Amino acid sequence: MNFTELFKVTSYQCSFSPDGQYSASANQYRLIIRASTTLEIINVFACIDVIDIIEWSPDSHFILAGLLKRSAIQVFSLDNPDWKCKIDEGSAGLCQVHWTPDSRHILTTAQFHLRITVWSLTSKNVSYIKYPKKLSPSCYTFHSLKPYMALVERRNDSTDHVSIFNYASNWSMVTHFQVSELEDLQGIQWSPSDDVLCLWENCYEYKIVFYTLDGQLLNMYKPENEHFSLGVRCVRWSPTGQVMAVGDYEENITIFSYLTYKKIRQPFQHPQRLSSTNGYTILKEEECDMNNEKSDEKSQSKPYSSSAYSSSLLSDHESKSCVESKYIIYNGTLKIAPIKPNLDRANPRLGISSIEFSSSGRYMSTINDTMPNLLFIFDFKPKFHLAFVLIQLQPIRCVRWEPKRDRLTLCTHNNRLYIWSSEGASCINLPSESSKHNIDEIKWNNHNSISSVALIGQNSMCLGFVDLNSDL
């Protein structure tokens, strides 16, 4: 794997264009466009203030820069660099900005979610959508196959509603219905393969409902146990849309079928006692020097505790350029000591924080916030089972599957990139000149003949080019 030199970025703002031809990065008030393969600078656009957000249009012809402090957006064209557009939200403020899938409209959300404004780049018309509800990451979602947008609304009578708009037909309303089954709707997602919406309750109550496009209730799921259950934390559909995985604050994972929209197996938790005799492979990261000597000779016999490793380890070793790491296949039993969350603080780190599917939908990776150093990889073939457990020295910051292959990358806020596939796993150190570049975010670009990945830190980034023919 080959790496580029470091480039400066502001607030992690770096992104590949959807067609894979370009990479964009923000450096203070400058928006820099490069060719994704040669890294040749194609254009440099100057903005009126520091850039907080960048986002490519889905057709890769435009790119926007969000200036949240100025409540403004600047839009640039790659086909015509002299063409420019500036959108000003004024006193309403700006907290979110996104493209629509047709690449001809921009949606801006005012502060306190007072309204959503639709800006047309073709007709220059402006329209407003009322009653948006404040949700994370967004109160609206787009259909993957049809020109529909589903919006969660909070009406004045404190009831939640869903409106479906057709953005290809002048934003006409297709349907509107009240979600009476939920008292405080907190999430919405389209099925990738069907006209079905999944909605769920807030974190204090576990309840999931499935609706059709015309507002018909397909199914409502609540846990069967009698005790009070905390709610949903994350929801992911598989790429094929055949299953949906739900992680909750009580550390359970539930899998639903697209045929009945009912659970297809009992909710399960991550094991706290790992054993290599249980049918899965345990891969444990170990630090070693250039002579392949382990930095801790007794680490094999010590019980592993996820709270025993923290980011402070990096500072102890970053000056030792000879220290690298590798995965070993652990044979034996490990007892995991989960981190006890501080329930006196707001938003305690609790429950299933990450669920990600591979591109084919065969593999599913999960992270439990009380065991942040562990990545669990499940395999759906020949039947659903736990296949691999990766144990890292530091808490995992980001997990990304390669877009066209069942290969996974992760980072742990250090200068290493970790790669896993069913054939094996490896720890790749960045070159010595990038030894102080801590990777916090990973973005894949797999639309060119050469597969590349952006390794992004808070103030710097670099690209890594992968040889698709090489084995781990």
pLDDT at residue 466, rounded to an integer: 84
Q: SS3 for 276?
A: helix
Q: Looking at the predicted structure, is the pLDDT value of residue 9 above 60?
A: yes
> How far apart are the C-alpha atoms of 139 and 274, rounded to whole Å?
39
Quote the distance between the C-alpha of residue 444 and its chain's center.
12
The share of the chain scoring above pLDDT 90, in percent, equals: 82
pLDDT at residue 438, rounded to an integer: 96
Lowest mean pLDDT among 350-364, 407-421, 434-448: 434-448
Q: SS3 for 164?
A: strand
Q: Looking at the predicted structure, is the pLDDT value of residue 48 above 50?
A: yes
Two tokens, residue 421: 């596939």
Per-residue model confidence as pLDDT tens digits over 277-319? 999 999 999 998 755 554 444 444 344 444 433 333 333 444 3
Say if residues 44 and 31 touch (Cβ distance below 8 Å): yes
pLDDT at residue 450, rounded to an integer: 74
pLDDT at residue 290, rounded to an integer: 57
Backbone angles phi, psi at 200, to 5 degrees: -145, 160
Q: SS3 for 436?
A: coil
- In terms of Cα–Cα distance, which of 439, 369, 368, 355 is closest to 401? 355
Lowest mean pLDDT among 305-314, 329-338, 404-413: 305-314
- In terms of Cα–Cα distance, which of 206, 184, 183, 204 is closest to 254? 206
Q: Which residue has the higher pLDDT, 472 or 40?
A: 40
> How far apart are the C-alpha atoms of 52 and 255, rounded to whole Å?
36
- In terms of Cα–Cα distance, which of 238, 253, 233, 304 is closest to 275? 304
Q: Which residue has the higher pLDDT, 290 or 59?
A: 59
Peptide bond into 382 cis (omega under 30): yes
pLDDT band at 435 (very low <50, low <70, confident <90, very high): confident
Per-residue model confidence as pLDDT tens digits over 138-173? 999 999 999 999 999 999 999 999 999 999 999 999
Q: Looking at the predicted structure, is the pLDDT value of residue 323 above 70?
A: yes
Backbone angles phi, psi at 460, to 5 degrees: -155, 160
- Each domain of the chain, given as residue ranges in start order, spans 273-430
Reported as type and span, the H/E element at residue 313 is helix 312-317
pLDDT band at 448 (very low <50, low <70, confident <90, very high): low
Q: Which residue has the higher pLDDT, 136 or 98?
A: 98
Two tokens, residue 154: 């909070």
Length of the chain: 472
3-state SS of the chain: helix, strand, coil percent to 5? 5, 45, 50
Quote the distance between the C-alpha of residue 459 and its chain's center.
20
pTM value > 0.85: yes
pLDDT at residue 293, rounded to an integer: 52
DSSP codes, 359-392: TTSSEEEEEETTSTTEEEEEE-SSS-EEEEEEE-
Two tokens, residue 354: 């990450």
pLDDT band at 268 (very low <50, low <70, confident <90, very high): very high
